Amino acid sequence: MRSPTHFCISNKFDVPIEYFVLIFDICCQTSCPPPPHLRISRTPRSIMNFMSTASEHFERGGKRRAAVAFAIFFFMIENLCTGAPLTLTFTQAPPLPDPIGFAGMGAGVSGDALLALGGAHFPDKKPWEGGGKAFNKFVYALERGAWHVAGELPSALAYPAYASTADGLVIAGGTNDNENFRAVFRVALKGGRLVREDLPALPVPVAFAASAMWHGKLVVIGGIGTPSATVALNDVHALDVTTPSKGWAALPPLPGRGRMLSVAGTFGGKLFVFGGCALEPDAAGKPLRSYLKEAFVLESEAGPWKRIRELPEPLVASVGPAPVAGDALLLLGGDTGFFYNNGKSPAEHPGQPRTIYAYRPADDSYAVAGQLPVGIVTAPAVQWQGKVLLVSGETGPGKRTNSVTIIGRE
C-alpha cells in the first residue's frame, strides 16, 4: 500500500505530499491565481521553502520525485501566474426607474447620457407559479445623476444585440417571446429628444446573441433564430455603423456547435468570445442546454477563429460586452449550470454567481478578480466616463434587480 504521505503522480513513483502542501501554501500567499476562488499575494519565503525542500530531497537521492515536484511548480508558474492584480471598486448609481428591473436590456451611450431600453420581467408571479413575462418598450436615460423616461419604442423587445457608437446606441434583433426580430435601429438623444433611425435589418432573426464593437463594426455572434429553437446559431454578422448602407457582412462562423448567451469582448484589435450554451432537443422536443467552457479569438475578419484556453467553469449569460480593465477582459458573473444540472427546482435557486474573472490575452490566462455585489446575468455592461456600469439584470430565475452598479479601479 502506498504511503499516505505521498501523492501518486503515475504508477511508477510517488511525490512527497509535503511538496503539494508547499505548492498550496505558495498559491495561497502569492499573486498566482490557483484553481478558481483562492485569493493570493506574493511571498518569496514560501517559494524558497519549496525550492529548499525539493533540493534537499534531490540530494538524498529522490531525483525523479524532486524533478516532478519542480516540474509541477514551474507548470503552475507558467500556467497560473498573471500580470498585475486588479483591484476593483463597486459603487451604486441611481437605480433604474422601474421597481422590479429587467433582464435582457440593451444599453449604451448617447452624448453625455446613458441609454437603457427594452428587457423583460415577471411583474406578478414567478414563472413556476404561472406568472407571465412582460416586455418593456420604454427607453430610459441617465443624465446629470438622474434617470428619466426618454421615449418609447414602437414595440417591446428584450435580449437584443447592442453597442455604443459615436452616434448613439445601436440595437439589433431581440425577441418578444412570440417571434425573434431582424430589425436594427439606432437611438440617440438630440436636443433633449429621443431620435430613432432605422438601419439595415439582420440577414436572419436573432435573439440572445453576443455582441461587441470591433473595427467600427457591430458584430453579432450566435444566438437563436426562433423563441422555440432547439439548435443555436454559429453565424457571425457584422455591420459597419459608419456606413450602414453597405449592409451586413458575414464573418467566419464560430467553430463547432452553435451557441446562445455567450459573451464577446475586444482587446488589442482582436475579437473574443467566451462560454454560452448549445441547444439540442430533449425527449419531448424542447430545448435542452449544454453549458460551455469553450473560448475563441478572431484576429482578422478573414479568420479563422482560434481556440484559446477554456474558461475555469462554464459561463452562460455573463454581463456583456466584456469590458476592458488594464491588461484584461472582465468576465462578470454568469450562470455555471451547476444548479440546474443537479435537479433543483427554480424556487430553490440561491442566486446567480458573483465571481468576476479577468482574462489576460497576453498569457492566455484567467484569474479571479473579485466578486460582484449581487450576482446578475443577462445585463448590459457599458464603459462610460472611465467606469463600467452594469444595468439591471436577472439575479435568479424569475427575479430581477433595478440596481445599476458602477465598477471602477483603485
Residue 340: give its domain's CATH number: 2.120.10.80
Residue type, 82: T
pLDDT of residue 344: 73
Q: Up-side HSE of residue 196: CA atoms within 13 Å toward CB? A: 14
Task: Indicate if 22 and 124 belong to the same structural domain.
Answer: no
pLDDT of residue 210: 98
Residue 231 inside a domain? The answer is yes
Task: Indicate if 342 and 383 belong to the same structural domain.
Answer: yes
Please give the mean pLDDT across all residues of the chain. Answer: 85
265-277 exposure pattern, b = at least 16 Cβ within 10 A, e = fewer:
bbbeeebbbbbbb
pLDDT of residue 161: 98
Query: pLDDT band at 312, cuts 50/70/90?
Result: very high
Identify how many contiguous H helices and E strands the chain contains and give both numbers.
3, 32
pLDDT of residue 204: 98
- What's the number of domains the chain is made of? 2
Query: pLDDT band at 61, cuts 50/70/90?
Result: low
Task: Indicate if 74 and 169 belong to the same structural domain.
Answer: no
Query: pLDDT band at 70, cuts 50/70/90?
Result: low
The 3-state DSSP class for residue 89 equals: strand
Residue 261 inside a domain? The answer is yes
pLDDT of residue 341: 63
Task: Indicate if 192 and 316 belong to the same structural domain.
Answer: yes
Cis peptide before 127, with omega less than 30 degrees from 0?
Answer: no
Task: Indicate if 22 and 129 belong to the same structural domain.
Answer: no
Task: Indicate if 112 and 221 belong to the same structural domain.
Answer: yes
Q: What is the pLDDT of residues 328-383, one digit of tens each?
A: 999 999 999 887 666 677 888 889 999 999 999 999 999 999 999 999 999 999 99
Task: Indicate if 27 and 92 belong to the same structural domain.
Answer: no
**Of 80, 102, 122, at which residue does a domain stop?**
80
Residue 1 inside a domain? The answer is no
Task: Indicate if 282 and 389 belong to the same structural domain.
Answer: yes
pTM score: 0.81
Domain of 34 in residue numbering reads as 6-80
Q: What is the pLDDT of residues 176-226, one digit of tens each?
A: 999 999 999 999 999 999 999 999 999 999 999 999 999 999 999 999 999
Q: What is the pLDDT of residues 160-189, one digit of tens each?
A: 999 999 999 999 999 999 999 999 999 999
pLDDT of residue 346: 82
**Of 33, 54, 80, at which residue does a domain stop?**
80
Residue 97 inside a domain? The answer is yes
